[in-house]
A = this chain, B = another copy of it.
Amino acid sequence: MEQTPINEDSPSVSKKAAMKQEKLRRRQEQQALAAASRSLAVDDELDQLAANYGEFPLQSKTVENVSRRTQVAALTNALENCSVRIRGKAHTIRVVGKNMAFVVVRESWFTVQCVATVQPDTVSRQMVKYVAGLSRESVIDVEGLVSIPSVEIKGTTQQVEIQVRKLYCVSRAPVLSFNIEDAARSDAEIEKALQAGEKLVRVNQDTRLNNRDIDLRTQANQGIFSIQSEVGNIFRGFLLSEGFREIHTPKLIEGSSEGGAAVFTLDYKGQPACLAQSPQLHKQMAICGEFRGVFEIGPVFRGEDSNTHRHLCEFTGLDVEMEIDLHYSEVMDIVARLFVTIFGTLNKTCQKELEAVGRQYPFEPLKYLPETLRLTFEEGAQMLKDAGDEVDPMGDLNTEAERKLGQLVLEKYGTEFYILHRYPLAVRPFYTMPCHDNPAYSNSFDVFIRGEEIISGAQREHRPELLEKRAQACGIELKTISTYIDAIRNGVTLHGGFGAGLERVVMLFLGLDNIRKTSLFPRDPRRLAP
C-alpha cells in the first residue's frame, strides 16, 4: 500500500506554532470587540430609533413592511438612491469616531461596504454602538440607500455603498477559529510578506478541515465546489444525450465487490454485509437486465489504510457500464469524448470559478488534445525503458512510473490527458476480459491526468466458468458473488465500462495537491468528522 505522507499545506509553520498564533489572534479580537463597545458608551436613555436595529425575527413571522431582498451581486450604479435590503455575513466591521461604523457585507462571492452614520430620524448613537458590538461573520440584514462614492472602494467587489437606515442581526457569530482572509491567502502572498518582514497567518489543513463550515466560505472553495457540481452535471448531460440511463445500485452488499482491498463490514440484520467498494457488480447486472448503457454517481467506500494526498475512505464514484458491439475501443471512445466535453465545458462556463481557485492555488490550464491519445501498455513501458527506467513488463506501473510516463507523454505528444490500454491481465480485477491474441494481456485501460491515474476501465469477462475461475484465483469466495455470476450466466452481451472518482477529477483538472481540497467533508483513515 502506498504510504507517501499527507501533503500539509503549511510546511513552513509547525502545527503547534499555528495553534498558538490562532489563540493569540482570537484573544486580541475579543479584546478589540470589548474595547470598541466600551469606547462608544452612550447614555442608557430611551432610543427613539430603537426599532431600526436589533435582533431579527427568526421564526418565519411574516414581517410587515419588509422590502424585497436584493442580492449583493446585483448592487450596481443603476440602483443609485434606491432603497435596498441585503443580507450577508459581516465580513469586516470598523468604527470611526463615535458616530460612524463601516460594515463590509459579504454574500457568497460578493462584498459591499455599508456605512452607518448617526443621523436624526434614522441612525442613533446607540445603533452605531450596536453595530460596533457585532462580531465578524455574524449574519446581518441591512436596509439603506445606494450611493456612489467618489473614490474607488478597495477590498469590495461592488463599487457602490449603502447608507444604512436599518440593521438587524440574524445570527451572531463567536470569534471564529480563523478569519476568512487568512484562509483565502495564497502561499505566494505569505512568502512575499515574510520576505518583507511581515508574518501573516497561515491556516493549516487540519484546522481548515476541523472547521470546514468556515473554510468553505473562501472564494477558492466556493469555486472548487461549483466546479465539482458542474463536472457532475456535464457527466450526466453527456451520457443522457448518448442514451445512457442513470441508476442507483445498493451500497450494502453481501460480498466485497472487488476482492483484495480492505472493505468496511457491518452487521445487516444478523447477516454479514459490506459497503460496496464500487458499483461494479450491480452496474453489470443492470446490463444483464438489458439496460443498454448506464451510469451512476454515488459514494464508494474503501477501507484501505492509505494516508496519501490522493486517497479517501469514501469518495464519489463516476461509473459507466455499456454494451459493446465488437471491441473495447468503443468504451474508450466514450471516455475520450466525455472527458474532452467536461474539460471544454468547464473552461468555457466556469471562468470565474477557475480564476478564484487559481488566485489561491495557482495552476496551469490542463493540456489536452481534441482526439485523445491512446497508447498500449507495451508502448508506455517502452517509452519508460527508452528513458532509462526499469519496468516490469507484466506488472503494474507504480505512482512514480505513472508520473514519469506522464512527463514523457507531455514532452512527446503535448498532452496531459491520455489513455493507456492493453494492461497485463495479472494486475487487473477478476472480471476483466483477456485479449484474444494473448491471454497475458487484457482488454483494459487506465486514463491519466497530469501523470496521475483517474479512470480504470475494461471489457468484462462474461463466460461464467472463466469468471468463476478468475474470482477464485483472486481469493473471492464464490458464494458472496453468486447472484452476480448467475446474472452473467443468464445471458449477457459483450459489455464494458469504467469508473472514475469525482474528487480526483476535480483535483487533477485544477492541479491541486491534495484530494481533501475537493471533498466537501473528507473521510480518510484518521478523519470521520465533521
Contacts and interface: CB of A to CB of B under 8 A. Distances in A.
Contact of A491 (B139, B229, B290, B437): B139
A87 B493 contact: yes
A133 interface: no
A256 interface: no
Nearest to A487: B213
Contacts of A137: 490-491
A216 B173 contact: no
B282 A520 contact: yes
A303 to B, nearest CB: 8
A254 to B, nearest CB: 5
B286 A523 contact: no
B251 A226 contact: no
Interface residues of A, number: 108
Contact of A285 (B228, B273, B530): B530
A89 B491 contact: yes
A415 interface: no
For A233, A483, A520, which residue has the most chain B Cβ atoms within 10 angstroms?
Answer: A520
A295 to B, nearest CB: 9
B316 A528 contact: no
Nearest to A216: B289
B299 A248 contact: yes
A324 B267 CA distance: 40
Given A61-B437, A249-B520, A66 B326 contact: yes
- Number of this chain's copies in the assembly equals 2
Contact of A58 (B264, B265, B269, B433): B433
A69 interface: yes
B520 A212 contact: no
A254 B289 CA distance: 37
A467 interface: no
Interface string A264-275: 111111010101
Contacts of A253: 528-529
Interface string A307-338: 00000011010000000111111000000000
28 contacts: A57-B436, A58-B433, A58-B463, A59-B434, A59-B443, A60-B433, A60-B435, A60-B459, A61-B437, A62-B326, A87-B325, A139-B491, A171-B493, A172-B491, A173-B489, A210-B483, A211-B486, A213-B285, A214-B289, A217-B290, A233-B236, A247-B520, A249-B520, A250-B523, A254-B529, A264-B268, A483-B529, A486-B530
The 6 tightest CB contacts between A and B, nearest first, are A216-B289, A173-B491, A483-B530, A59-B436, A213-B487, A213-B288
Interface of A: 57-63, 66, 69, 87, 89, 108, 137-139, 170-174, 176, 210-217, 221-222, 225-226, 228-229, 232-233, 236, 240, 245-254, 264-269, 271, 273, 275, 282, 285-286, 288-292, 297-299, 301, 305, 313-314, 316, 324-329, 433-437, 443, 459, 462-463, 483-484, 486-487, 489-494, 502, 520-521, 523, 525-526, 528-530
Given A170-B493, A213-B285, A486-B530, 20 more contacts: A59-B436, A60-B326, A61-B327, A62-B327, A139-B493, A211-B490, A213-B288, A214-B490, A215-B289, A228-B248, A236-B236, A248-B502, A249-B521, A250-B314, A265-B266, A269-B528, A271-B528, A275-B275, A298-B299, A483-B529
